[in-house]
Structure 1
Amino acid sequence: MVRSALLALLAIAAAAPPLHAQERVTAISRARDLGPGATVLVEGTVSVAPGVFDGGFAIQDHSAGIWVLAPADSVRLTVGQRVRVRGMLDEPNGQLAIMPAAIGPLGEADAPSPRDLRTGLLNESMEGWLVKIRGRVASEAVNDDPWGWKVMVDDGTGPVLVFVDAETGVDVRPLRPGDTVEVTGFAGQYDDHYEVVPRAQVDIRVVRPDASLSRSH
């Protein structure tokens, strides 16, 4: 994920043309295929609200998800709200995102459900989705001050980084190696690695050990 104070400088262009219902909308998966520099118009449901972390919010449709680089004070949206976004694709710190020129709320929808994901299978194809992993805490939580905390979780298919952004206020210090946890979060990328970023304390739960995890170690 993007962890730079420069994101605070991003703003929706005041002179951007308004969004119109008749404009052709591109599926998010197709928009992602266009790559950095392309201008896209997408619609999706908010999975991470503005102001939770990283100076932006996340949306997803039936095909894929993506991050939108909009400062929290520029738009008010809630999880489950549908929104239309026009902007240019960029790839700060390796993560594909939209730098918006216009954002238009479309109404309410059901909050998106996370996609179940094996820890060793987080890759570019999953980036942008809201996901849920379940596995064992592989090591002590590492303080990545001032950005947040890092916790490795492994279900036997390979470890994945759970990055807990300091802005969320999520406390991972009680977690211990060997705990079985269920983590819901945004599937993001930072430089050369992928990570799951929880949104709130309820996104990290210590659960009873799964017998399948025991067999996989």
Structure 2
Amino acid sequence: MHATLRRPLPAIALGLTLFGSAAVAIAAGASIQDAREAAEDTPVVVEGVVSVPSGTFAPNDEGFAIQAGKVGIYIHDSMGQTLELGQTVTVSGIVGDSYGQVYGVYPDSIQVTGTHPVHPAKPMDTGDINEDSEGRLVRVRGTVMDAVFDDAPYGWVFHLDDGSGETTVFIYTGAGVDVSGIEEGDEFEITGFSGQFLDHYEVNPRSQSDIVER
């Protein structure tokens, strides 16, 4: 099964947005879960720990992900900053998706506020990677079902199944992963961001250490 070729994220004009007092009252302190449930173009403020460093999903974008407890969300742009694992951030912006993909925040302000241990990945069955897990770190283990497909320049894709149903593993070029050791029939444990592309859900590893042969 070949992957659908990735496409660059749509260009969005992002500037400093001054929310009205009513909007600020609604958005200030809004949790990640609140943001995930908000309608598109709703102004929000989210806080969390960086779970995916900025640039990991390049060349698709220069975004990053944050997580707070059991919920996470993607931030579609880093605004020129380098965001690292374990940094705590406060992000304001508007919610929206990209080509029907991961629902997240298009930021107009990103503030690093400190550091915190990265929230652990949730062990999951491959068949359970879906909308409910989207945005957080997950860990799956199963058999590689096909040869790794080179979806240049965006990355590489293959499918993993533990008997509960296949999930897609998409490794972005920005993750800097060597995929030469991944072959059909091998068993791997994959840690990564629970994401979505078009009509399917996937796990996106962040680095070589997220891909372990078993």
Opposite residue 144 of structure 1, the aligned amino acid is D
Per the TM alignment, residue 4 of structure 1 is displaced from its structure 2 partner at its CA by: 3.7
Alignment CA distance shift 1:146-1:76 (3 Å): closer
If each structure's helix is expressed as a fraction of its own residues, which one has the higher value? 1
2:22 matched residue in structure 1: none
Q: Does 1:166 align with 2:173?
A: yes
Contact 2:28 2:44 in 1 (8 A): no
Contact 1:12 1:102 in 2 (8 A): no
2:153 matched residue in structure 1: 146
2:53 matched residue in structure 1: 49
Match of 1:76 among 74, 78, 82: 82
Opposite residue 77 of structure 1, the aligned amino acid is L
- Whole-Å separation in 1 of the counterparts to 2:51 and 2:201: 18
Structure 2's unaligned 5+ residue stretches are 20-24
Quote the RMSD (CA, aligned, Å).
2.1
Per the TM alignment, residue 80 of structure 1 is displaced from its structure 2 partner at its CA by: 0.8
Q: Does 1:121 align with 2:125?
A: no
- Matched residue SS, 1:65: strand
Contact 2:126 2:165 in 1 (8 A): yes
- Whole-Å separation in 2 of the counterparts to 1:81 and 1:63: 17
Aligned residue runs from structure 1 range 152-191, under 5 A: 152-191=159-198
Per the TM alignment, residue 76 of structure 1 is displaced from its structure 2 partner at its CA by: 2.4
Q: What is the TM-score of this pair, normalised by structure 2?
A: 0.86
- Whole-Å separation in 1 of the counterparts to 2:13 and 2:66: 18
Aligned residue runs from structure 1 range 96-111, under 5 A: 96-111=103-118
- Whole-Å separation in 1 of the counterparts to 2:93 and 2:145: 39
Alignment CA distance shift 1:199-1:11 (3 Å): farther
Match of 2:97 among 91, 94, 102: 91
Contact 2:148 2:182 in 1 (8 A): yes
Opposite residue 206 of structure 1, the aligned amino acid is E
Per the TM alignment, residue 79 of structure 1 is displaced from its structure 2 partner at its CA by: 0.5
Q: What is the TM-score of this pair, normalised by structure 1?
A: 0.85
- Matched residue SS, 1:126: coil
- Whole-Å separation in 1 of the counterparts to 2:139 and 2:63: 21
Extract structure 1 runs of 4+ deviating beyond 4 A.
9-12
Per the TM alignment, residue 39 of structure 1 is displaced from its structure 2 partner at its CA by: 1.1
Per the TM alignment, residue 162 of structure 1 is displaced from its structure 2 partner at its CA by: 0.3
Q: Does 1:38 align with 2:42?
A: yes
Contact 2:9 2:98 in 1 (8 A): no
Alignment CA distance shift 1:161-1:61 (3 Å): same
